[in-house]
Structure 1
Amino acid sequence: MHHTIYPLFNGCFNIYFKSARSLENIHCFAFLVVDEAGEAVLVDTGFDPKGIPGANTSSTQTEEQKIKAAIKKLGFAPSQIKEVILTHIHWDHTAGMPDFPQARFYVQVNEFRGLFQLNPNEETYFSPSHWLPLLPNIELIQGNREIKPGLKVIQSGGHTSGHQLVEVQTKSGPVYLIGDSPFNYDLLWAKIPPERWRSFREGAGRKFYWEEGVWDTINAWLTERDCSGPVQGQAVPWAEIKKFGSRLLMAHDARLLKVDSID
């Protein structure tokens, strides 16, 4: 089964830091993957300008660039999207999840296990409000798995504990949607001194930290599915991912602005 890939531009954001390198003009993309029968699978769901976890942020996002609207422009109603693959659950990949309450969301189990092994303040990378009400819709995957003919997820880890790639078979050969595979922000966050984190948590950043009950809800959900416990397996090094070939599409590659579709 061959597929056509449509990059969906979701806008740009900036996060300005006083104590570390700022993240500026970050282009965001999700992807709609459509098979020969016209059935579509969405990969990632974009960001919300109101939910960027920083005290000094800005963004550009039109109504047309929201993932729900971008899908409609391609001729699909959001209700037609029955399957969504999340490369990982950072805030800039999950904001559109509530727009697809009928969908099944595919996420690596290590992604949720890893939430219990976060570095201090790392919880601000995630927005439980995007996915906590949708836990019954989430299908946990452990390792590599074929979602449908010609569409496969590959556990990679690295950027997050349960980061995964999406291998898409097109008429011109395989293409890999690699999410945020090349990026590791550990050094950036390590440069922010503890006192600044405390100030952020007690002030402008308070809303980006989780309420205590969230941890209990996630733990109970994992336990019910017999999936609780530590992260399992090793991350795939970026050097190994690059060996997949030259057709690697990252979620934040501005060059995708020039690409309408890939088939």
Structure 2
Amino acid sequence: MRVHHLNCGTMRPPGGRLIDGEPGLFRRATMVCHCLLLETGTGLVLVETGTGTPAVENPAGWLGSAFVRLTGAVADPELTAVHQLRELGFDPADVRDIVLTHLDLDHAGGLVDFPHARVHVYAEELRALQAPHDRQERNRYRRVQFAHGPLWKSYSDSGDPWFGFDAVRELEGLPPEILLIPLAGHTRGHAGVAVDTGNGWLLNAGDSYFFPGELEPEPNCPPALALFEGFMQTVKGPRLDNQHRLRQLVKEHGDEVTVFSAHNSVEFERLSGRSRV
């Protein structure tokens, strides 16, 4: 299986870091939408879709004006998944399957660009979209992004053991090297997507953590980012428990499994070998 790391949506939220240590010179932090394109024996598979082409044409209408303002979302057509597929020599119509960690707008916004693809997601996440428990769930999903009628394939969160987690190992029509891993917390149906590359596992942990330091033995996270992470969570207990389990995974099996989050630009650059964000 060949794996391509794609950034399908750059964000530059307020705040930042010193430039070369010069007092008073700051640049905005950079966040990415880390997606995977998988070349498998059964066709092309996308893991996450980023924000989608409508986010370039009409950012406020597609993503919401508050999101655009708060995140500094960059409207760049070259960052869309369809553009990057074409740059790699593929026809976007050849993407037959999409696997999502969850349905937030910066993960599922590109579904509309692949209307004929099957969309694999946890059943609990689909229920959160279709029958939200509260106002927070009603507000976090952008209904306009699903108006085209995605071809849903949903799964329960039970399955076989995988490095201390449960895993759904049989995703309809997909090779067994692609698994859904339950990682509830950020949303109630949040998942990780594990991929056996043949040279070790990749685990796209989505938004189960935002900062690499959270997976260190002595976890750390910038206070503002930790506050935002807590604000965006749906269920606190499972989120913290799953972060603990991810730390154990890295500690005990870091030589077999490479874990990365959805938005950290440093992780993306390390895995993609590219720095264009």
Match of 2:38 among 33, 42, 49: 33
1:86-165 alignment runs, 5 A limit: 86-115=100-129, 116-135=131-150, 137-143=151-157, 144-146=167-169, 147=171, 148-165=175-192
Q: CA deviation at 1:54?
A: 4.3
1:7 aligned onto 2:5: yes
Aligned-partner Cα distance in 1 for 2:260–2:209: 11
Deviations 1:150-199 (A, max 9, x none): 11111221111111111111122111111111157464369xxxxxxxxx
1:46 aligned onto 2:50: yes
Aligned-partner Cα distance in 2 for 1:156–1:86: 12
**Counterpart contact for 2:9–2:106, Cα < 8 Å:** no
Deviations 1:32-61 (A, max 9, x none): 1223x3722101111125133343343224
**Counterpart contact for 1:40–1:81, Cα < 8 Å:** yes
1:252-263 alignment runs, 5 A limit: 252-255=263-266, 256-260=268-272
Paired residue for 1:197? none
What's the TM-score, normalizing by structure 2? Answer: 0.66
Aligned-partner Cα distance in 1 for 2:35–2:209: 17
Unpaired stretches in structure 2, ≥5 consecutive residues? 16-27, 158-166, 211-225
Aligned-partner Cα distance in 1 for 2:136–2:12: 19
1:182 aligned onto 2:186: no
The one-letter amino acid of 1:87's match is T
Deviations 1:197-216 (A, max 9, x none): xxxxxxxxxxxxxxxxxxxx
1:165-244 alignment runs, 5 A limit: 165-183=192-210, 185=228, 187-188=230-231, 237-244=242-249
**Counterpart contact for 1:164–1:178, Cα < 8 Å:** yes
**Counterpart contact for 1:85–1:105, Cα < 8 Å:** yes
Aligned residues between the structures: 210
Q: Which has the higher contact order (CA 8 A, sep 6+)?
A: 1
Query: What SS does structure 2 have at the residue aligned with 1:133?
Result: coil
Aligned-partner Cα distance in 2 for 1:24–1:111: 29
1:7-86 alignment runs, 5 A limit: 7-14=5-12, 25-35=30-40, 37=41, 39-47=43-51, 48=55, 50=59, 51-55=62-66, 56-57=69-70, 58-86=72-100
Query: What SS does structure 2 have at the residue aligned with 1:11?
Result: coil
Aligned alpha-carbon RMSD (Å):
2.8
**Counterpart contact for 1:53–1:124, Cα < 8 Å:** no
Q: CA deviation at 1:95?
A: 1.2
Aligned-partner Cα distance in 1 for 2:202–2:230: 30
Aligned-partner Cα distance in 2 for 1:119–1:110: 15
Do the aligned partners of residues 38 and 260 (structure 1) sit closer, same or farther apart at CA in structure 2, a change above 3 Å counting?
farther
Paired residue for 1:250? 261
Q: CA deviation at 1:117?
A: 4.6
**Counterpart contact for 1:53–1:125, Cα < 8 Å:** no
Unpaired stretches in structure 1, ≥5 consecutive residues? 18-22, 191-230
Q: CA deviation at 1:105?
A: 0.2
